[in-house]
Chains A and B, each alone.
Chain A
Amino acid sequence: MRQAARRLLEENTVNLVIGYAWGTLPLRTAPFFARTPAEADRLVYNSLCENNLVKYLLRYSKEKLGLVVKGCDARSLVVLLRENQVQRDRVHIIGVPCTGVIDRRKVMELVDGQEVTGAEVTVEGIVVRGEGFEKDIKTDEVLCVSCRGCKYGTPVLYDTLVGEEVRAREENFGDIRAFEALPPSEREAYFAQEMAKCIRCYACRNVCPLCYCTECFVDSSRPQWLSRRPATADNFFFHLGRAYHLAGRCVDCGACARACPVGVDLMKLNRKLIKDAKDLFGYEAGLDPGQPSLLSTFDPNDPERFILGG
């Protein structure tokens, strides 16, 4: 990783590499902007690299960039290419095959909400320490829900691949199937509980590479679509609106759910729509920039189950 980034900067192939460096807290890495070969030596990659750096591409219109992407991140970049938001020749994609990202909140749950003061990434997982405890956790126990059935750990698009390709996992929508099987009242109660937590800080929207509208519908004042106060119904309206806007585009990177400071379970909505796109239309977003987008194509053979008798 460091070598690759260093070379790109030294040879002036790019003038900025956006990757990850160790953060200031255990369990945390942070987006890092390397402009010199020396800075490139601070780059790291591991299962704690939870941000999707493709978001930052949209901010830099002048620099030639090197960008570190995991498998899912690469797919979101493909969607941006498909939607003409990014010029391919402006970015040198440093792909990293990914075996899954650790969900900090699951780790916190396993240590019963105590503070983790030290963490060490190992081959099989992670060792966490705090006052009076040390715990060896296998990666699979604390994987993000999106990673458990990830088929595209190896980026679908890259200029440089750092590391060995990884095996595709078996598609796993078990969480969504189980949720679909619940009676409507229980599903409603679950969403009410999750949506009540939302503080409308818009971290989910702001970290999402595919949320690039110049004016988000929640910010519009003419008309003002929803109340500015974080009432459960308005929060739900925001998240539903966002999810539907991402339908057929969301690549299940899970960055929004990890960014949420209050832990709203956003992937229930996003993954339901991903699963529907797959089940109904056989569609998976972000595999090929030439692929037409799901909601802008019409096929007479599309299933119309949503229409009564369809």
Chain B
Amino acid sequence: MKNPYLPLPMRIEKITVETGDKSLKTFSLGFVREEDQRRFSFVPGQFAEVGIFGKGEAPFGIASSPMDTTRVEFTVYKVPGGTVTTALHEACVGYVVGMRGPYGNGFPLGAMQGCDILIIGGGFAFTTLRSLVNYMLHSDNRARFGRIQIIYGAREPGLLLYKEELAEWQQRNDLALTLTVDRCTPADGWTGCVGVVPKVLQEARPPAANTYTVVCGPPVMIRFTLPVLQELGFGPERILLSLEMKMKCGIGVCGRCNIGHKYVCKDGPVFSLAELSQLPSEY
């Protein structure tokens, strides 16, 4: 019987400081045991419980692509006063952490196949979106998806994640990437868009026909983005959101992450707007 509470030992192989204020770091974890690596697979949008032994565990969306089977990446925001995120930020390369997962449903790749994909991300919620984009861009998969358009915004240029990768994506001709910031100073040397994500979306007017939209970002961005999408004709069944909740077990048993009868850890974290509208607004 597989023990869902027992973490896999994972070694921190690389730490990338993502933002100027050092509040976000990406941890690249390698498998300590080869058999774990062979058995581990996931779909974009799934998460794992990452833990520092003796401190605690917390759920993080997997930020690397499932096509890369050698490592698993997580981008972690250091929450002020947060036990686990603080301990993770203090950890060094070589340190062994625990990982349980993957958990949750992930993005509905089957349904999304053959469709155009619109990705709307804000701030440090871009993690599982990065996993999704890299998955779709992989040469084995690219043909299965239509047009890919990405709108990604942050408060200021320094807070955009995965800057090197974003630069690579901008060079590609099989995806349209719009980066935007809420504000910038001349010192930033920013040449991209300035404006909040909903406004940029409104101006871009992406076509809704045969398109799945994935929206991940801070609550305020989501609140103002959804009406724009509706106005542009996107149906609630094809607007996908990924929810965050306090979680412990990750397998729908410990009882704290439910919204109505759905457990975010087990039935989510990805829900369509149509599904969410059937649930109590308790999140």
Binding site for B on A (CB under 8 A): 221-222
Interface 0/1 of B80-102, CB less than 8 Å to A: 01010000000000000000000
Instruction: Indicate if B56 sits at the interface (CB-CB under 8 A).
Output: yes
- Mark contacts of B148-182 with chain A using CB atoms, 8 A cut-off: 1 yes-contact digit, 0 otherwise: 00000000000000000000000000000000000
Chain B residues positioned under 8 Å from A221 (CB to CB): 56, 83
Closest A residue to B87 using CB positions: A222
Q: Which residues of chain B from 92 to 142 have a CB within 8 Å of any chain A CB?
A: none
From DSSP, what is the main secondary structure of chain B's interface residues?
Answer: mixed
Q: Secondary structure at chain A's binding surface: helix, strand, loop or mixed?
A: loop
A262 to B142, CA, bound (A): 63
Please give me the residue from chain A that is nearest to B81 by CB atom. A222
- List the 4 closest A-B pairs by CB distance, nearest first: A221-B83, A222-B83, A222-B81, A221-B56
A-binding residues in B (CB < 8 A):
56, 81, 83
CA distance A221 to B52 in the complex (A): 14
In the bound complex, how far is the Cα of B84 from the Cα of A221, in angstroms? 10
Closest to B82 in A: A222
Bound form: Cα–Cα A222–B55 in Å: 9
Residue in chain B with minimal CB distance to A221: B83
What separation, in Å, do the CA atoms of A221 and B248 have in the docked complex? Answer: 14
| Closest CB in chain A relative to B78 CB, distance in Å | 14
Chain B proximity of A228: nearest CB distance (Å): 12
Given the complex of chains A and B, what is the CA–CA distance between A222 and B56 in angstroms?
11
Q: Kindly provide the distance from the CB of A169 to the nearest chain B CB, expressed in whole angstroms.
A: 47
CB distance from B126 to the nearest CB of A (A): 28
Chain A residues within an 8 Å CB radius of B56: 221
B81 contacts which chain A residues (CB < 8 A)?
222
CA distance A222 to B83 in the complex (A): 7
Q: Which residues on the A side are within 8 Å of B83 (C-beta)?
A: 221-222
CA distance A78 to B83 in the complex (A): 38
> A222 to B81, alpha carbons, bound, how many Å?
8
Residues of B within 8 A of A222 (CB): 81, 83
- What is the chain B residue whose CB lies nearest that of A223? B83
Could you list some 4 contacts between A and B, CB below 8 A? A221-B56, A221-B83, A222-B81, A222-B83
Please give the distance in Å from A277's CB to the nearest CB on chain B.
36
User: How far does the alpha carbon of A222 sit from the alpha carbon of B90 in the complex, in Å?
Assistant: 15
Docked complex Cα distance between A265 and B132 (Å): 58
Chain A, residue nearest B56 (CB): A221
Distance to closest chain B CB from A219 (angstroms): 13
In angstroms, Cα B87 to Cα A222, docked, is 11
Assembled-state Cα–Cα distance A222/B84 (Å) = 10
Q: How far is the CA of A101 from the CA of B81 in the complex (A)?
A: 44
> With A and B bound together, what is the CA distance between A221 and B81 in angstroms?
10
Measured in the bound complex, the distance between the Cα atoms of B58 and A221 in whole Å is: 14
Q: How far is the CB of A225 from chain B (nearest CB, A)?
A: 14
Instruction: Give Cα A268–Cα B83 distance, bound, in whole angstroms.
Output: 36
Shortest CB distance A221–B (Å): 5
**Whole-angstrom distance between the Cβ of A94 and the nearest chain B Cβ:** 37
Chain A min CB distance to B87 (Å): 10
Bound form: Cα–Cα A54–B83 in Å: 35
CB distance from A214 to the nearest CB of B (A): 13
A222: nearest chain-B partner, CB-CB: B83
A111 to chain B, nearest CB (A): 38
CA gap between A83 and B83 in the complex, in Å: 31
Shortest beta-carbon distance, B52 to chain A, in Å? 13
Q: Which residue of A lies closest to B86 (CB)?
A: A222
Query: Bound complex: CA of A222 vs CA of B86, how far in Å?
Result: 11
B261 to chain A, nearest CB (A): 26
A221–B87 alpha-carbon span in the complex (Å) = 13
C-alpha spacing A221/B83, complex, angstroms:
8
- Give the distance to chain A from B81, nearest Cβ to Cβ, in Å: 7
**A153–B56 CA distance with the chains assembled, in angstroms:** 49
Return A223 CB to nearest CB of chain B, in Å.
10
Roughly how many angstroms separate A92 CA and B211 CA in the complex, as a whole number?
62
